[in-house]
Amino acid sequence: MLLERNDIDQLDRIYRINLINSLSGIKPANLIGTRSKSGVLNLAIFSSVVHLGSNPAQFGMVMRPQTEIPKDTYRNILESDFYTINHISKEFIKNAHYTSAKMEAHESEFEKMNIKEEFVNEFYAPFVKHSAVKLGMKHLTSLDLPNGCIFIIGEVQQLSVADQLIADDGSINLEAYNHVGIGGLNHYYALGKIESFPYVRVNEIPDFHE
């Protein structure tokens, strides 16, 4: 299939959404935890979390366009400045997926989807208890994107990773705890390690023409 811009515009809406969302390949599956000013715990699945820098440790994520009344996750982040990023494992994919439902502000996805919350060292936002990798984030800024979406930038204030998952070089074994990825909008993939390569220096590049 070869599509020009006009061809893409003429596609069926649902077909186009599924196709375009699949083009970026496998994306990380994360649950974003927040708490409202009134104390309601909110949880929402995201596939747009990206690493921005290691010193300081910062991550970004894309929020869909907000109406006059911001969605719970974004409103809670703006009001409290704190949120959590929690990796999703194979064991609770289904529960995590259904947090994408548009629930009322007074309802908690933690309770509705039977996902156990956890508070660590008085951090304001809730973590997902059964996540193997958890980040406590502080909101730094939000950037408006050309398509109306919002790019949220946050800094890591706290992180929790099981010791046995961390290699001597600091890297995390994603396969060991069944971390999953998302293809498109609603297709989940298991992750398996294929190979590891060294940090690349110009004088160490192999001869690929041999």
| Domain residue limits, the chain | 25-191
User: pLDDT tens-digit profile of 44-66?
Assistant: 999 999 999 999 999 999 998 88
Contact 172, 161 (CB under 8 A): yes
**b/e 164-183 (16+ beta carbons within 10 angstroms → b):** ebeeeeeebebeebbbbbbb
Residue 70 has pLDDT above 80, yes or no: no
Greatest pairwise CA separation for the chain in angstroms: 65
User: DSSP labels for 30-92?
Assistant: EEEEEE-TT--EEEEEES--EEEEETTEEEEEEEPPP-SS--HHHHHHHHHSEEEEEEPBGGG
Residue 181 has pLDDT above 90, yes or no: yes
Predicted pLDDT of residue 30? 97
Task: Indicate whether this model's pTM tops 0.85.
Answer: yes
pLDDT (mean) for 19-25: 93
Instruction: Tell the CATH superfamily of the 25-191 domain.
Output: Electron Transport, Fmn-binding Protein; Chain A (2.30.110.10)
